């Protein structure tokens, strides 16, 4: 379909084509913004995790806490909440609750504006149907006063024009639905990676504390034994 045919198709659709076009462009703008934002977050999290995980494995929590506080990535925000409990509340449950709290703050930011894409897709479809219904009402009204010999031709032409809005509404809605599905999939992947990082960090913190407790216990026991000789 060349440009002139597309322009003729748009012009024949009537006034409802303009709000459908506006809805489509708005939805695509939101989808593109979220796509770049989620891509940046995913790339940033992967890079930060590759730096932080070796520190977690070595038990360098103070150094990790300092670096995480200076970083604004979502994975750093989650680790900061967990590490803040690590030095005070030693129970695994306390650290886990802190990380879950941070996840509850992070997830809404990841899903921000994404539902609008699906909503705008539905609006485009409904506007197309509304435009078709209004066009049919107008067509039947005009045909009622027309020459009987011309009624069939006028009605078929009017219905054809009225259907343009439904077609354009669906043409706008389908890409928006696909974009919404892709955004939701990407968001889910980021959330899954954060949950995986949370579990690994929690295991590293608790295992490090367990090793430290065992060493302190062994030192206390060896220090309390009587000297032989």
Question: pLDDT tens digit string along 45-87?
Answer: 999 999 888 888 887 888 888 888 888 888 888 888 877 776 6
Instruction: Name the CA dihedral angle for 151, 152, 154, 160, rounded to a multiple of 10 degrees.
Output: 150
Nearest to 182, CA basis, from 26, 22, 30, 78: 30
Least confident of 4-13, 82-91, 114-123, 195-204: 82-91
DSSP annotation of 73: S
12-49 pLDDT, tens digit per residue, is: 777 889 999 999 999 999 999 999 999 999 999 999 99
Tokens 């670096």 found at? 67
Q: What is the pLDDT of residue 229?
A: 40
Specify the long-range contacts of residues 39-43, CB closer than 8 Å, at least 24 apart. Answer: 39/186, 41/73, 41/74, 41/110, 41/190, 42/186, 42/189, 42/190, 42/193
Distances in whole angstroms, Cα of residue 184 to Cα of each of 4, 23, 31, 116: 36, 20, 11, 12
DSSP annotation of 228: P
Least confident of 13-17, 124-128, 204-208: 204-208
More confident residue, 101 or 222: 101
Distances in whole angstroms, Cα of residue 225 to Cα of each of 56, 156, 215, 218, 221: 34, 103, 16, 11, 7
Q: Can you give the pTM of this predicted structure?
A: 0.80
Q: What is the mean pLDDT of residues 147-169?
A: 78
Q: Return left, alpha or beta for 147; rule: phi > 0 is left, psi -120 to 50 is alpha, else beta.
A: beta
Contact 120, 176 (CB under 8 A): yes
Q: What is the mean pLDDT of residues 100-109?
A: 89
CA 79/CA 223 separation, integer angstroms: 36
Q: What is the mean pLDDT of residues 115-137?
A: 92
What is the maximum span of the chain, computed from C-alpha positions, in angstroms?
A: 127
Two tokens, residue 208? 């490090």
């Amino acid at each position: 379909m060349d440009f002139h045919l597309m322009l003729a198709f748009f012009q024949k659709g009537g006034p409802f084509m303009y709000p459908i076009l506006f809805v489509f462009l708005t939805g695509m703008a939101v989808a593109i913004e979220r796509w770049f934002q989620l891509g940046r977050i995913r790339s940033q999290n992967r890079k930060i995790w590759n730096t932080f995980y070796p520190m977690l494995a070595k038990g360098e929590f103070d150094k990790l806490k300092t670096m995480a506080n200076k970083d604004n990535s979502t994975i750093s925000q989650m680790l900061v909440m967990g590490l803040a409990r690590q030095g005070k509340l030693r129970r695994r449950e306390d650290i886990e609750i802190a990380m879950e709290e941070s996840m509850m703050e992070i997830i809404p930011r990841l899903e921000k504006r994404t539902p609008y894409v699906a909503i705008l897709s539905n609006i485009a479809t409904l506007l197309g149907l509304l435009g078709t219904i209004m066009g049919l009402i107008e067509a039947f009204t005009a045909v009622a006063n027309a020459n009987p010999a011309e009624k069939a031709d006028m009605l078929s032409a009017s219905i054809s024009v009225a259907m343009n809005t439904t077609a354009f509404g669906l043409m706008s809605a389908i890409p928006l639905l696909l974009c919404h599905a892709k955004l939701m999939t990407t968001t889910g992947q980021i959330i899954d990676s954060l949950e995986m990082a949370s579990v690994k960090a929690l295991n590293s913190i608790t295992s490090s504390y367990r090793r430290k407790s065992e060493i302190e216990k062994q030192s206390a026991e060896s220090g309390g034994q009587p000297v032989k000789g």
